[in-house]
Amino acid sequence: MKHSPALLLLTGFLANCAPQSVQTPMDPAAPALALDCFREHGSAMLAAHRAGPAPGYAENALSSLERLAELGVLYAEIDVRRSADGTLFLLHDETLDRTTTGRGPAETLDWAELSVLNLRDPDGVILEDRIPTLSDAFAIARESGLVLNLDLKSITADTIVDAIQSADARDWVAIIAYSVEDAAAIHALDPGLDLSAPDDPDALAAAGINLDTTYLWLGTDPSEAVRDQDFASESLETSIGLFRHEPGPASLYTGARDAGVELLSIDHVEDAVAALGGSAVLHAQIDACTVTPVEN
């Protein structure tokens, strides 16, 4: 797939409401808007926390991203850090010990030192995967159709916005903002970037944040899924974290979907995929909201 998932999804939604004989180029759309299409179809998309590690698959690994795309997981949450010499790379922890063959603080090393380290899966098994750069992840997203949820670890707003714009990757990312202030800093630099932001739309709007490119984080309590109805009445989209309650029954996932939440953040990828009908069903739901836009 060579086009932005957000662009493809919104184009598909609009195509359901317009004649199909002519397709025209569209501006990139926010996941919040594109997820309207899934609401219309009674569907929810999955977002894999730390790229969905599993036996044989490490956190934040390129092979893990490829696995997600194959399974029908549309969103991948990845953690972004900066090496001592300025390379943006993927790693969750401040230190290398738990998930790599290295030791000690990660961001004190140059990229040449980091790039030779292998990743470990959740059982500690050393894999062939090495620490990837953010640029590597952008390339996988373009090839596979993933949307990357960027969790910024000590990365400033101007650094990530510059990286996204320089790589022409705006169509493939949604940045996680943990506060209204963080969201405002990002949107002050580029109000067209998609954001996951706190569930306070009034405060977000007052801070000058573009709610048309923002979806709201409901937290990690599954019971909060019912609040989607309140935000939906304001044409706002939501996501919720289920990973702290896994492993769990299929109803953990179907309950949030049936409550109307558009994006479910999870750790147990295969369980979540199965609960929502399997890979074929998820791919079909994505395809139902997808058309091929005209090349510029």
Amino acid at 48: A
Task: Please give the share of the chain, as a percent, with pLDDT higher than 70.
Answer: 86
Residues near 13 by Cβ (< 8 Å), separated by ≥ 6? 34, 36, 37, 40, 289
Is 5-79+145-288 a CATH 3.40.50.2300 domain?
no
Domain boundaries, the chain: 5-79+145-288
Q: How confident is the model at residue 113 (pLDDT cuts 50, 70, 90)?
A: very high
Supply the pLDDT for residue 83: 98
Supply the pLDDT for residue 274: 98
Supply the pLDDT for residue 41: 79
- Structure tokens belonging to residue 49: 């926390």
Supply the pLDDT for residue 152: 97
Mean pLDDT of 120-128: 98
Whether 284 shows a pLDDT value over 70: the answer reads: yes
Supply the pLDDT for residue 16: 40
Whether 101 shows a pLDDT value over 90: the answer reads: yes
Supply the pLDDT for residue 169: 92
CA 31 to each of CA 85, 155, 265: distance values in angstroms, whole numbers, following the listed order: 32, 22, 14
Q: How confident is the model at residue 26 (pLDDT cuts 50, 70, 90)?
A: very low
Q: What is the mean pLDDT of the chain?
A: 87
Q: Sign of the CA dihedral 81, 87, 88, 90? A: negative
pLDDT-wise least confident of 4-13, 93-102, 218-227: 4-13
pLDDT digits (tens, 9 = 90+) for 43-93: 899 999 999 999 999 999 999 999 999 999 999 999 999 999 999 999 999
* Torsion from C-alpha of 11, 219, 190, 76, nearest 10 degrees: -60
* Torsion from C-alpha of 159, 160, 162, 166, nearest 10 degrees: 130
Q: How confident is the model at residue 7 (pLDDT cuts 50, 70, 90)?
A: very low
Whether 269 shows a pLDDT value over 50: the answer reads: yes
Supply the pLDDT for residue 196: 96
Supply the pLDDT for residue 30: 43
Name the β-bridge partners of 191.
none
Residues near 92 by Cβ (< 8 Å), separated by ≥ 6? 50, 59, 60, 79, 99, 153
Q: How confident is the model at residue 296 (pLDDT cuts 50, 70, 90)?
A: very low
Supply the pLDDT for residue 290: 63
pLDDT digits (tens, 9 = 90+) for 139-168: 999 988 899 999 999 899 999 999 999 999
Q: Cα 14 from chain centroid?
A: 22
Supply the pLDDT for residue 285: 87
Q: Is 86 left (phi over 0), alpha (psi -120 to 50) or beta?
A: left
Supply the pLDDT for residue 289: 74
Give φ, ψ of 165 to 5 degrees.
Answer: -70, -40
Q: How confident is the model at residue 103 (pLDDT cuts 50, 70, 90)?
A: very high
CA 266 to each of CA 93, 158, 280: distance values in angstroms, whole numbers, following the listed order: 18, 29, 19
Supply the pLDDT for residue 42: 77
